[in-house]
Amino acid sequence: KAGVTQTPRYLIKTRGQQVTLSCSPISGHRSVSWYQQTPGQGLQFLFEYFSETQRNKGNFPGRFSGRQFSNSRSEMNVSTLELGDSALYLCASSLATFGELFFGEGSRLTVL
């Protein structure tokens, strides 16, 4: 079966812009979680959605937001981009909240 698909894979933005990243989970998975990975901070949990509801949120500013649609696809948005937002953004899907997580390959965001 198809894995977790993230789009776009690579993108470049400038400071102050906003960005939207998309994640299509494995068919049948209702939980989608998002992570930021940087060399300095490692992998950090952003938030988790289950059946269109945000159930958990990490320690990120309000500029980071997300949503989940009825087909379980999820988007995350970062507004007013800062240089420090440059990172690999990973999403993961699972059958249940934090069951076995299946990760996508990530979207690599560069902020100039």
Among 13, 20, 30, 45, binds other proteins (CB under 8 A): 45
Backbone region of residue 72 per phi and psi (left: phi > 0; alpha: psi in -120 to 50; beta: other values): left
Please answer whether residues 90 and 103 qualify as being in contact, where contact means their C-beta atoms are separated by less than 8 angstroms.
yes
Among 28, 42, 53, 62, binds other proteins (CB under 8 A): 42
User: For residues 55 and 63, which CB has a smaller minimum distance to other proteins in the complex?
Assistant: 55
Would you give the binding string for other proteins spanning residues 8-37, x where CB under 8 A is met? -------------------------x-x--
At residue 106, what are phi and psi to the nearest 5 degrees?
95, 160
Check binding of 58 to other proteins (CB under 8 A): yes
- End-to-end Cα separation, the chain, in angstroms: 37
- Locate 83 and state its tokens: 């240089």
Q: Which residues bind other proteins (CB under 8 A)?
A: 4, 33, 35, 42-45, 48, 55-56, 58-59, 90, 92, 97-98, 100-106
